[in-house]
Structure 1
Amino acid sequence: MPIRPEHRFFYPIDWRELSMAIRFGRAQGRCEGCGRPHGRKIYHLGDGRWWDAEANRWRDGWGRRIRVAAEADILGRARRTHVVLAAAHRDHNTSNNADANLAAFCQRCHMIHDRPEHQRRRWRTLFRRKAIGDLFGGPYR
């Protein structure tokens, strides 16, 4: 996931090398949350279940093997997506770059991991807009 230019100074100069060491050195090119392989197109059902072509098995959102009932419509529900790994900070602190604080996540796992932080930021933004509207613009609409 690219870093926005205005956030670039929060990351260390060697972030690219550090990120690659976590994603491809430690995680061996697989998501540490669900096991999806980097750079491949996979089939998934939209609820976390995905087809692992290497193992010839369905897996759940945490990478565990599961059985999917043979339904006539299962291929019609399956979607295809390109997996890209990104290095994520477990504690959302970009200055804490310890190995234990970094994880290699696919897009889905990264969004699930960041959900509470995104909700907190959204609440703060809406609260700030309301406060500014009350202070300078009269009643908030």
Structure 2
Amino acid sequence: MNVTLRRRSLSWTAISAATYAAIIWIYFIAPLGPKFGQVMLGTAVFAHDPILNAGILEWARQAIASPSLHLFDWPPGFASQNTLAITENLLGWQPEFALLRWAGASVTFAYNSLFITSFFFSAFGAGLLAKRFDASEEGALLSGIIFAFLPFHLVHAI
């Protein structure tokens, strides 16, 4: 790959990332304003899912840091054992969530950060996949937007 093509590819990658970030800012962050750490994103459609997911993330963070708690024996699964192992444990999101919580962020702020991060990674990944299958830069950008911000994905986020 020559230098000109490489620069063009990197510039389109940066443009794509900036576009996805702008869409996320417009649709998710700006409407909440200073209440970003107080209002949980995603509760308008299915209020129970974000609360459940935030609870799972917080339990896993506490269980991983504690020698006396068992990760998969979470309180809502009582009296059965290892109930978190048979449901969504969200361990893949734990590094970012735990980092934010240990930095002093509230559960709501950390969850909202994961929520918007999931859209960014979805868009960016779909764009890279489209580019890998020889889509044009514009086509890759559009595929990322369509995949990440499709209503089905918006409802089933994180």
Could you say which structure has the higher strand fraction? Answer: 1
Could you say which structure has the higher helix fraction? Answer: 2
Greater Rg over alpha carbons, structure: 1
**Normalising by structure 2, what TM-score?**
0.27
**Normalising by structure 1, what TM-score?**
0.29
